[in-house]
Amino acid sequence: MSTVTRYFFNVISASGAVTDLEGTELASLEDARAEAILDAREQMSDAIRAGRDVSSRSIEICNEAGDIVLVLPFREAISMTE
């Protein structure tokens, strides 16, 4: 029997936080990290198209108890290659 955990993805910036009130049920913290990477990439892509830099933001992943289990800086969601 596999268990799932509800993870919450809060976006943290210099101007404050956007709190995820719904969360997403995922099988593992590794899956939550992968989801955060996709979210960060999508937000950075949207920002670049609008001429903004949001690379200093991060995503705080919290469990159902509200504990922060991982912080993913947006910069870690991209690989810098030439």
Determine the average pLDDT of the residues in 38-46: 96
pLDDT at 79: 80
C-alpha distance from residue 63 to each of 15, 34, 38, 44, 80 (Å): 23, 15, 18, 24, 30
Report which of residues 29 and 79 the model is more confident about. Answer: 29
- Does the structure show a pLDDT above 90 at 81? no
Determine the average pLDDT of the residues in 11-25: 97
Instruction: State the CB neighbour count (10 A cutoff) for residue 72.
Output: 21
Instruction: State the CB neighbour count (10 A cutoff) for residue 12.
Output: 18
pLDDT at 82: 57
Is the model's pTM score more than 0.85? yes
Determine the average pLDDT of the residues in 40-46: 96
